[in-house]
Amino acid sequence: MFGLQSECMLHVPEQYHTLSDYEGAQPRWCPSCGDHAVLTAVQKVCREKQLPPEKTVFVSGIGCSSRFPHYMRTYGFHGLHGRPFPVAEGIKFRRPDLDVFVATGDGDCCSIGAGHWIHAIRYNMNMTVMLLDNEIYGLTKMQTSPTSRKGTISNTHPHGSILPPINPLVTTLGVANVSFVAQTVDWNPAHVFSTLMAAHAHPGFSFVRILQRCPHFSPNLYSDEISNPDLTVLLTHENGIEAIPEVQKMYKNSVEHDPADINQARELAQREDLVPIGLFYCNPEQEQYDKYGASNIGFSPQQKSDALNVELDKYAV
């Protein structure tokens, strides 16, 4: 039964992958949903980096955004609401050869998944995380999310929500061992692309919050930001997200911010007047739990047997 070929370092056939190699099922999101743009950017990142589809895994929870894996032609794990992180960690733990992406929603990550989110930041395993934050529950039809602004009218708060929203960036920046925090917006595909390129290149848990439009339930949520680029502030730095001329031209407001400076990162992330996009924090030196996971893989049956025999000896009568 277990006589299969054993470890996982097989050569992948050399072959150039085109965009369509990464295209899975036809997306079922609403036509002008912000998720489409992110999907396209991700497929471009995959092609740019020529990720082998069979060595790439997209993990998600439940939600509109969590349908993401189905629309990629890679391996995918569309699991339980709120639980993408533990699954992604388990996948990565003993498989350093796999590229792991997580697609999650604001409910999935910040509400039911909050505990796992905090711990995933701390585990700092090498994976790219996209929080598709539309500030609402999409799939279940418009309930308040922890990132919904105070006063949001939703089906669970028809008279307006009560609490100020969680700021996923500030929260992430407050967790020990945090190693990469960025923000981008679905309506600027070039910036989404370069942000995800940087996130993927970072060795560790790369957390990218993507402001994502849900025209179906919140048609006007980001319309000010979209129509007026001055409401956005671009974070620039030589160690930040790669500068793209078209993006730089678009946003007059920019701040030079060293992503090594966590204190300034927190202050910037806290801003409520403008939407900062770019890299808030990056520290490639943090402890990586996936390195621990990969520390003793590939033992031969004989090695395992020997170790077990040593143990049995200890308990021999």
Partner 1 sequence: MLKGNSDELAAPENVSSGEEKTGIKVMPVEECIVEIVSDAGEGAQKAGQSFGSVSAKMGNGVWTVEIIPAEVQPPARSRAGASGIRIRFGSDKVTNMGDEADLVVAFNEQVLYGRIDQKAYREGTIILIESKWKESKVPEIQEEYALAMQEFKQYGFDVREIRMEEECLKFVENPSKGKNMWVLGMLCSIYARDIEKAEAQIRHTFRRKSKKIIESNLLLLNAGYNWASKNLNLRFQILSEAESVSKVVMNGNEAVGMGVMAAGIEVCSMYPITPATSVTHYLSEVFEKSGGLVHQAEDEIAAIGFAIGASYAGKTAVTVTSGPGMALKTEFIGLATMAEVPLVIVNVQRGGPSTGLPTKVEQGDLLSAIFGQPGDTPTVVLAPATIEECYHFVILSRQLAEAFRMPVIMLTDANLATGVQPFTRPEINLDSFSPPIDQSPWKKEIRPYEWDEKTGLSQRPIPGQSDGMYVLTGLAHDEESHVAYDSHINQLGCNRRSRKMAAIFKTLSPPTVNGDEKGDLLVVGWGSTLGAIEEAVNKARQMGGSVSSLHLRFLSPIEPGLEKIFKRFKKVMTVEINYGDEENDPLITSENRRRSQLSWFLRAHTLTDVDFLAHIHGQPMRPGFILQRLKKELGL
Ligand X SMILES: Cc1ncc(C[n+]2csc(CCOP(=O)(O)OP(=O)(O)O)c2C)c(N)n1
Q: Which residues here bind ligand SF4, judged by CB under 6 A?
A: 29-30, 33, 35, 64, 134, 138, 214-217
69 binds partner 1 (CB under 8 A): yes
Question: Residues 6 or more apart from 166 whose CB is under 8 A from it?
Answer: 110, 146, 147
Sign, CA dihedral 294-298-303-309, equals positive
Out of 14, 238, 285, 316, name the contact with partner 1 by CB under 8 A: 316
Contact 235, 253 (CB under 8 A): no
CB of 102 to ligand SF4, least distance (A): 17
Round to the nearest angstrom and report the end-to-end CA distance of the chain. Answer: 33
DSSP 142: S
Q: Which of 222, 221, 219, 250 is nearest to 234 (CA)?
A: 250
- Please state, in angstroms and as integers, the Cα–Cα distance from residue 251 to each residue in 77, 248, 278, following that order: 37, 6, 12
- Stretch of 3-11, 179-187, 201-209, 234-242 contacting partner 1, by CB under 8 A: 3-11
254 contact choice in partner 1, a copy of itself, Mg ion, none (CB below 5 to 8 Å, kind-dependent): none
168 binds ligand X (CB under 6 A): no
Out of 40, 60, 74, 145, name the contact with ligand X by CB under 6 A: 145
Q: Which of 131, 137, 135 is nearest to 150 (CA)?
A: 135
304 binds partner 1 (CB under 8 A): yes
Residues contacting ligand X: total by CB under 6 A: 17
Round the CA-based radius of gyration of the chain to a whole number and report it: 21
188 binds partner 1 (CB under 8 A): no
- Please state, in angstroms and as integers, the Cα–Cα distance from residue 219 to each residue in 32, 209, 271, following that order: 10, 20, 24
Between 132 and 275, CB nearer to ligand X: 132
The interface mask with ligand X, positions 84-103, x = CB under 6 A, is --------------------
Distance CA 254, CA 291 (A): 36
Out of 70, 237, 266, 271, name the contact with partner 1 by CB under 8 A: 70
Interaction site with a copy of itself (CB under 8 A): 111-116, 118-119, 122-124, 146, 150, 162-167, 170-177, 262-263, 266-267, 270, 286-287, 289, 292
Interaction site with Mg ion (CB under 5 A): 105-106, 134
